[in-house]
Amino acid sequence: TQLLEQSPQFLSIQEGENLTVYCNSSSVFSSLQWYRQEPGEGPVLLVTVVTGGEVKKLKRLTFQFGDARKDSSLHITAAQPGDTGLYLCAGETGANNLFFGTGTRLTVIP
Shortest CB 46 distance to another protein, Å: 10
Site string for another protein, 48-77 (x = CB under 8 A): x-----------------------------
Assess 4 for contact with another protein (CB under 8 A): yes
CA 106/CA 86 separation, integer angstroms: 6
Assess 14 for contact with another protein (CB under 8 A): no
Say if strands 5-7 and 98-100 run parallel, antiparallel, or are unpaired: unpaired
Assess 99 for contact with another protein (CB under 8 A): yes
CA 37/CA 83 separation, integer angstroms: 11
Assign residue 9 a region (left: φ > 0; alpha: ψ between -120 and 50; beta: otherwise). alpha
Q: Return the residues of window 31-50 that contact another protein according to CB under 8 A.
A: 33, 40-45, 48
- When computed from its CA atoms, the radius of gyration of the chain, rounded to whole angstroms, is 13
Which residue's CB is nearer to another protein, number 43 or number 108?
Answer: 43
CA 8/CA 17 separation, integer angstroms: 16
Which residues lie near another protein (CB under 8 A)?
4, 33, 40-45, 48, 88, 90, 95-103
